Amino acid sequence: MSTIPVPAPPRPKTLLSRRVRFGLLRVGSLVAFLGLWQWYATQPDQYAVASPTEVGPDLWNGITDGTLPNAMLGTMSFMVVGLLIAAVLGIGLGLLVAASDVADNTLTPLINSAYAAPITLLIPIIGVYTGIDFWGKVFLVVAFSVFVILVNTESGIRSVPAEMIETAAAFCLTRRQLVRHVVVPAAMPYLLTGLRLGVGRAFRGAIVADLLLAVDNLGEVLVTAGSTFNVTRLLTGVLFTTLVGYLLMSIVEAAEQRILPWRTRADFGS
């Protein structure tokens, strides 16, 4: 009696092989980008684009002489304050809107309108009411980042299964215990995603504040380079800003994976 052969199940991909594969993909994409940039910048008619071989040494000099790190520290000083304020406001208002029908009907239209409005429209108002120095920049960072934290928090609270709420009620948990031990842990993926996106938007708001309010820190580096047609230093400032933004997002993503280690990328057979 013949039997139908059963194919062997595919061997699971090891963690090491995934890391090596993804590492090679990242290195390959970076090399391809730098190669394309070098090729484009060395074309005879491209006099306004500095090549990586020019930007790289200038980036190293700007880091070693302290110009770029000091500028970044100045930008980060008010960005951190604004991000902390935005996190407190965003999570607090998100909890309130999700838990209260009165707050939902009162605040949601205002939140949606403010979230859809271009934040840069607030710059003239900021200049009048908060000034263009430290607290004006903090306000702009808050305006850039608070709504994404708020919306994700609200979505996370609303996504908590009703069965969990009913089970908690059966154990006679108080409202504070319900929020602390059931609602917040269940909504934690949304909260951390909102904070991760908020970090990126806060950094963007800090750069905009340095460029459009009191020109200082990284904004001064970029504006000075642009006004003097120093293309190499301008691209150096842009590249340094991009690298710092990527580093911040990577740190927050690593913290998110550490807090929620069970969250993994979906594998669709790639």
- Report the distance separating Cα 258 and Cα 229, nearest Å: 44
- Report the distance separating Cα 176 and Cα 181, nearest Å: 8
**Per-residue pLDDT, 179:** 75
- Report the distance separating Cα 89 and Cα 145, nearest Å: 10
pLDDT beneath 70, residues of the chain: 1-16, 262-270
List domains and CATH numbers for the chain. 78-215 (1.10.3720.10)
**Per-residue pLDDT, 39:** 87
Chain segment 233-255, per-residue pLDDT in tens:
999 999 999 999 999 988 988 88
pTM: 0.81
Chain segment 31-43, per-residue pLDDT in tens:
888 888 888 888 8
**Per-residue pLDDT, 5:** 56
**Per-residue pLDDT, 270:** 47
**Per-residue pLDDT, 268:** 46
